[in-house]
Structure 1
Amino acid sequence: MSTDQNALQQLLDEAEIARLLTRYATAVDARDWDLYRTVFTPDAWIDYTSAPHGQAGNLDETVAWLAASLTLLPMTMHYVLNIDAAIDGDGATVRAMFYNPLQIPGVEGTSFCGGYYNHTLVRTGDGWRSARLIEENLWFENNPFASS
């Protein structure tokens, strides 16, 4: 590929990866588990253990856990930003910040958490997909799970 074609492919990949992460946030907040599955490879490993009461597992286990857990929350609104994608052929590592206001039953006001999503992506026939996600939850304001 020429330098111009490489630069164009880099931009196209970065745009597709950003759309993938937007689709992730949309799926979680809409509780759309079919859409959520389109973000991942069928054999993906997803780790949310840095969050209070978080779990890790394969795609089916994670969808079941999220579906049960998030029904308890009246509102979540994930923002994904500062996407840093290191693309190497048909693979990529991505570190992106997240900011998530949420409502927790029994907690006065809105709670907020944030951190990083660390993805290992692969290019598939259907576009970029996450083969591994490790959430790195760094902070949580108005956290009912914090020890007193």
Structure 2
Amino acid sequence: MTDLHDVHALQSMLATYARAVDTRDWDLYRSLFTPDARIDYSSAPFGIAGPRDEVAAWLEQSLSVVPMSMHYVSNIEVELDGDSATVHAQFFNPMQFPGFADLSFCGGYYHHEMVRTPDGWRSRSLREDNLWFVNSPTPPA
């Protein structure tokens, strides 16, 4: 039987993740991951993969020129296994790039490997699958 308290805590963590990115709260962002977490945004235009602090610094620099982003996270699936969980969720992200007259939009999936810590659930691994991008900042291949 699924522990609904854990499912709710994991869903709440994903909402906090979206708020941290959109409000550019990089301390909050880092706090959602284990110190040794690996984060992979390489499916997105100009994306990178690496350790938590390296990726957080890249996000901070990259998004500093983006006036607006608003992540929506939905369809969250949780597979609990004791103090570990696999979480899959869909995302939709409208954003405004500098110099673009129209909004850009992207969507795809987040794949998290979560662990229970003394401070609550944290992601030890995030892989983003950016499946589509409308009005992308990179030209089509």
If the TM-score is normalised by the length of the shorter chain, which range does it land in? over 0.9
Cα shift at 1:144: 3.0
Tell me the residue number matched to 1:97: 90
How does the TM-score come out when normalised to structure 1?
Answer: 0.92
Runs of 4+ in structure 1 over 6 Å off: none
Tell me the residue number matched to 2:34: 41
Cα shift at 1:25: 0.3
Cα shift at 1:108: 1.8
SS in 1 for 2:99: coil
SS in 2 for 1:133: strand
Matched, 1:133 2:126: yes
1:1-148 matches, within 5 Å, as: 7=2, 10-147=3-140
- 1:14-62, Cα deviation, whole Å (9 max, x unpaired): 0000110011000000000111011100100000000000001111101
**Structure with the greater alpha carbon radius of gyration:** 1
How does the TM-score come out when normalised to structure 2?
Answer: 0.97
Q: Percent identity?
A: 57
Higher helix share: 1
Structure 1 gap ranges (5+): 1-5
Considering only aligned residues, what root-mean-square deviation do their CA atoms show, in Å? 1.1
Provide the C-alpha distance between the structure 2 equivalents of 1:113 and 1:71, rounded to a whole number of angstroms: 18
SS in 1 for 2:139: coil
Which is further off, 125-134 or 136-145?
Answer: 136-145
Structure 2 gap ranges (5+): none
Tell me the residue number matched to 1:3: none
